[in-house]
């Protein structure tokens, strides 16, 4: 039998994904059977409801060059060609497709949420990277999972192995008709699937010949639909508080007797019950305070924690998953089953994905809280650690470097925009070439005593680490081998644990100052406050990269193609997000102007009437 990942190993791999896109990459291969290059082509328009089976979603897999031409079909894992041909292949909006596959409910909900949060158009790929980058994402996620599991999980996981896991799960664990598996995975023949199947002994043959439907149903288990209502609640645009709506949504599934969210204070150890359903909040607060249940382990360890029953859960199975974003654990999502049925792997994976979605939502809440607060906790950090590139570069070149902006472009990769004084571009380029974790140095503007430039940061930065903790960075610069970063946190933040966490990445990080200050009226312009919530993450990244890359200068410091290439996306994708961001920006300007004109007109009318 060809090996695939065991359920526990696959669950650990999905849980180890650091970003939503990384989780989607793993799940599209492991749960939908997509090949590497196919992941880069599927878009929201390819996902639809099944007409004959309620609640089932079907994903159409477009062919290479499938925009209506006679592009070649995708190549299979064994060198075979995917099912379908030019004469008979189905089409989606005029584009030829190779095949269709069924997507689990929890994965479909995650794809919908991701498309909404990223502002994807119907024809914009969910995974807008190269096939090579897809392979790297799987490899990096596997390495992280192996590290978290202390080597218990083999880090040599590939998209091909995930497809084998897909076949094994359907054929062996769920007893799905091999013909359905062949067509869903795009294998050429039933013979291709032979290695995935163990030979049947007499008892198994007897059960099969007798049509053992009960055993097949038991093997199928739950599909993760018991978590779908939680995703829907979180993604509901009409919800005043999406985070608080998640427990209510989960208990609507009749699978969970109780559901709640505990949130950890920024930089602190205190946890509070943020929302609950199916349980008295006061009694729940007592249980949390008494350290009863798996949720504390989920917060402390950053991985799901389960129990088959115990004190605080009325003897019923309970599961807690961390609410995380970019490696920062903001709290936990907790559920208790209505009966003694154990939490199955599909439910565990779906809840882990929901926990990551919840972590992002909590981070967004904290950014909004910081944006609109009247007072902030202003902190200043210093580091001369060799791992901080700006510190190393300023020391080597005896120059001053101002960090103008950072833009997230791919998983844990950022593009940093710098202003360098006292060093020539070629000297900076030489330092970049000799350093690890930085690459792709690009000059935007050359000055007599320096330059404006950008580079890729592949191993994170002090600035990004602070942003991931919910801070707004006000100033970042480096001189004489030392980096100085000034950032704002919400008022009352316990900064000391944050500083301790930063030292795990930069050994000599020092908290130079901390004070509570009133927010300056100029700290955030009224224009930014008026339109900030209109941008998706991708739109804001495109607008920031264009601005700091000199795209709006005259003459231009960078062309649109150069900015798109620096962000690692295609030119049409960049233009799409930039246009939408510009529209949101202009809507804010002209809507504000219209409202002001209306107010002035009303005031003039009142004065005239008076």
Say if residue 272's pLDDT is above 90. no
Sign of CA dihedral 179, 185, 190, 194: negative
d(CA 331, CA 356): 10
d(CA 225, CA 23): 18
Is 331 strand, coil or helix?
A: strand
Radius of gyration of the chain (CA): 26
d(CA 74, CA 69): 14
Band (467; pLDDT cuts 50, 70, 90): confident
Contact 284, 328 (CB under 8 A): no
Task: Fill in the DSSP letter of residue 533.
Answer: G
| Lateral strand order in the sheet of 91-92 | 47-49, 57-62, 95-103, 91-92
Least confident of 56-65, 148-157, 354-363: 148-157
What's the pLDDT score for residue 126? 93
Q: What is the mean pLDDT of residues 175-186?
A: 80
Say if residue 214's pLDDT is above 50. no
Tokens 């949720």, located at residue? 295
d(CA 557, CA 548): 9
Contact 383, 505 (CB under 8 A): no
Contact 318, 334 (CB under 8 A): yes
The share of the chain scoring above pLDDT 70, in percent, equals 73
Q: What are phi and psi of 394, to 5 degrees?
A: -65, -30
d(CA 402, CA 416): 10
d(CA 21, CA 507): 30
For residue 452, the cross-strand partners are: 419, 445
What's the pLDDT score for residue 218? 35
With CA atoms as reference, report the closest residue to 310 among 322, 300, 323, 295.
Answer: 295
CA distances from 258 to 248, 310, 318 (A): 9, 14, 9
With CA atoms as reference, report the closest residue to 59 among 76, 85, 81, 35.
Answer: 35
d(CA 380, CA 502): 13
With CA atoms as reference, report the closest residue to 122 among 226, 223, 47, 189.
Answer: 47
pLDDT digits (tens, 9 = 90+) for 583-593: 888 877 776 55
- Which domains are delineated in the chain? 7-220 (1.10.443.10), 225-372 (3.30.450.40), 375-520 (no CATH), 524-610 (1.10.10.10)
Helix axes 20-30, 105-118, angle to 10 degrees: 150
With vertex at residue 302, the alpha carbon angle to CA 247 and CA 353, rounded to the nearest 5 degrees, is 50
Task: Fill in the DSSP letter of residue 29.
Answer: H
What's the pLDDT score for residue 269? 56
> From the centroid of its chain, how far is CA 395?
35
Average pLDDT, the chain: 77
d(CA 163, CA 28): 9
What's the pLDDT score for residue 609? 54
pLDDT digits (tens, 9 = 90+) for 518-534: 765 444 444 455 555 67
Say if residue 384's pLDDT is above 50. yes
- Between 326 and 227, residue with greater pLDDT: 227
- Between 609 and 350, residue with greater pLDDT: 350
Least confident of 58-62, 79-83, 527-531: 79-83
Least confident of 62-66, 119-123, 223-227, 515-519: 223-227
For residue 81, the cross-strand partners are: 75
CA distances from 513 to 23, 362, 499 (A): 38, 27, 12
Band (219; pLDDT cuts 50, 70, 90): very low
Give the DSSP H/E element, type plus range, for residue 230: helix 228-235
- Between 180 and 378, residue with greater pLDDT: 378
What's the pLDDT score for residue 486? 92
What's the pLDDT score for residue 238? 63
What's the pLDDT score for residue 74? 36
Q: What are phi and psi of 542, to 5 degrees?
A: -65, -45
Contact 44, 143 (CB under 8 A): no
Q: What is the mean pLDDT of residues 184-202?
A: 66
What's the pLDDT score for residue 68? 36
Band (369; pLDDT cuts 50, 70, 90): low
**Could you give the residue ranges of the DSSP H alpha helices within 31-130?**
36-39, 105-118
With CA atoms as reference, report the closest residue to 476 among 560, 365, 390.
Answer: 390
d(CA 590, CA 609): 28
Band (401; pLDDT cuts 50, 70, 90): very high
Q: What is the mean pLDDT of residues 258-266?
A: 78
Say if residue 140's pLDDT is above 70. yes
With CA atoms as reference, report the closest residue to 28 among 171, 148, 125.
Answer: 125
Band (92; pLDDT cuts 50, 70, 90): low
Say if residue 228's pLDDT is above 50. yes
With CA atoms as reference, report the closest residue to 186 among 296, 324, 73.
Answer: 73
């Amino acid at each position: 039998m060809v090996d695939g990942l065991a359920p526990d190993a696959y669950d650990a791999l999905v849980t180890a994904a650091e970003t939503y896109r990384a989780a989607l990459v793993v799940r599209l291969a492991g749960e939908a059977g997509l090949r590497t290059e196919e992941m880069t082509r599927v878009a929201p328009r390819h996902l639809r409801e099944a007409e004959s089976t309620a609640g089932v979603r079907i994903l159409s897999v477009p062919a290479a060059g499938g925009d209506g031409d006679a592009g070649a079909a995708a190549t299979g894992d064994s060198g075979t060609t995917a099912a379908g041909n030019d004469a008979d292949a189905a089409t989606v909006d005029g584009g030829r497709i190779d095949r269709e596959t069924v997507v689990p409910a929890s994965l479909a909900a995650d794809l919908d949420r991701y498309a909404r949060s990223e502002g994807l158009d119907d024809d914009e790929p969910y995974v807008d990277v190269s096939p090579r980058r897809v392979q790297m994402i799987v490899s990096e996620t596997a390495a992280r999972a192996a590290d978290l599991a202390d080597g218990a999980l083999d880090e040599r996981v590939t998209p091909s192995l995930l497809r084998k896991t897909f076949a094994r799960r359907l054929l062996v664990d769920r007893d799905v008709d091999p013909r359905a598996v062949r067509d869903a995975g795009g294998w050429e023949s039933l013979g291709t699937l032979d290695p995935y199947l163990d030979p049947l002994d007499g008892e198994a043959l007897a059960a099969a010949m007798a049509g053992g439907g009960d055993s097949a149903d038991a093997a199928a288990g739950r599909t993760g639909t018991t978590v779908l209502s939680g995703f829907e609640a979180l993604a509901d645009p009409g919800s005043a508080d999406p985070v608080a709506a998640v427990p209510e949504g989960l208990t609507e599934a009749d699978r969970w007797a109780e559901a709640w969210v505990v949130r950890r204070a920024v930089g602190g150890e205190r946890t509070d019950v943020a929302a609950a359903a199916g349980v008295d909040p006061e009694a729940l607060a007592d249980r949390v305070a008494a350290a009863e249940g798996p949720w504390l382990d989920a917060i402390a360890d950053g991985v799901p924690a389960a129990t088959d029953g115990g004190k605080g859960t009325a003897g019923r199975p309970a599961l807690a998953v961390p609410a995380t974003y970019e490696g920062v654990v903001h709290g936990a999502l907790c559920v208790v089953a209505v009966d003694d049925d154990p939490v199955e792997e599909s439910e565990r994976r779906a809840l882990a994905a929901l926990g990551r979605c919840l972590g992002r939502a909590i981070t967004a809440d904290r950014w909004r809280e910081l944006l609109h607060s009247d007072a902030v906790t202003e902190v200043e950090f210093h580091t001369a650690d060799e791992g901080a590139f700006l510190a190393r570069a300023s020391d080597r070149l005896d120059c001053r470097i101002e960090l103008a902006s950072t833009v997230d472009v791919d998983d844990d990769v950022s593009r940093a925009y710098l202003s360098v004084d006292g060093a020539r571009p070629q000297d900076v380029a030489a330092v970049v070439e000799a350093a690890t974790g930085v690459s792709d140095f690009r000059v935007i503007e050359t000055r007599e005593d320096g330059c404006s430039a950008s580079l890729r940061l592949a191993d994170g930065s002090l600035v990004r680490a602070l942003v991931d903790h919910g801070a707004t960075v006000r100033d970042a610069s480096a001189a004489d081998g030392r980096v100085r970063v000034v950032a704002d946190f919400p008022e009352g933040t316990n900064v000391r644990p944050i500083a301790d966490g930063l030292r795990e990445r930069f050994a000599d990080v020092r908290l130079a100052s901390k004070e509570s200050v009133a927010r300056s009226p100029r700290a955030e312009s009224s224009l930014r406050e008026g339109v900030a919530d209109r941008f998706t993450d991708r739109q804001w990244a495109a607008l920031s990269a264009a601005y700091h890359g000199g795209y709006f200068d005259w003459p231009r410091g960078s062309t649109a193609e150069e900015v798109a290439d620096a962000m690692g996306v295609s030119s049409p994708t960049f233009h799409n997000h930039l246009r939408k961001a510009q529209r949101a920006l202009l809507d804010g300007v002209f809507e504000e102007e219209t409202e002001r004109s209306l107010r002035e007109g009303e005031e003039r009318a009142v004065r005239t009437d008076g």
